[in-house]
Amino acid sequence: MEHESQPTYTIEPMQAEDVEPATRMRLESWLATYVNDERGVTREWIEERSEEQLRPERIQQGIERLNIPGRACYVARSSQGGIIGSTTPYIDEVGVQHVGSLYVDERFHGKGVGRQLMQKVIEWSDPTKPLELGVATYNERAKAFYRKWQFEEIPGSETLFDNKIPEIKMIRKGDAQ
């Protein structure tokens, strides 16, 4: 019997040529994660939103964001060269640190990719300040992942992302706090 080896990957800064494949991977993750007909988050709505995200001008905006101070963009690249994960931490206009997005291709869940991407976010962030994120209220897998990194849900912080997806804020105190 042949032993299946673990997939190998690297975590690296996102480059301009990575923006479109990273966006496609993120949008596939949306389809795997957020479809919830009861809440009106339909496959069709996500696909329509995805078409907008993949328009050339939106990809160009993503490329331009790579060089904005107070932002970082990382990708997880498989040994075969494909983008299998990404994260985009940033500091907002009032100085609050955010995880931004953190997505991993569903086929690579449970293989350490998300852990390595989150480690990059932690290393990037200022340990004297908290780190925030928003997570879909019904995404129990992601909430459990973030709790492992000491993020706590903030009661009463529920909002609607894009006027559609209910999310809750989670905050992690800085390691030096």
Q: What is the pLDDT of residues 1-35, one digit of tens each?
A: 444 455 589 999 999 999 999 999 999 999 999 99
- Distance (Å, rounded) from C-alpha 177 to C-alpha 175? 6
Report if residue 49 sits inside a domain: yes
Report if residue 172 sits inside a domain: no
Report if residue 150 sits inside a domain: no
- Distance (Å, rounded) from C-alpha 121 to C-alpha 131? 9
Task: Indicate which CATH number applies to the domain containing 61.
Answer: 3.40.630.30
User: Model-level pTM?
Assistant: 0.91
Structural domains of the chain, count: 1
Domain span at 103:
9-124
3-state class percentages of the chain: helix first, strand second, coil last, to nearest 5: 35, 25, 40
Q: What is the pLDDT of residues 37-77, one digit of tens each?
A: 888 999 999 999 999 999 999 999 999 999 999 999 999 99
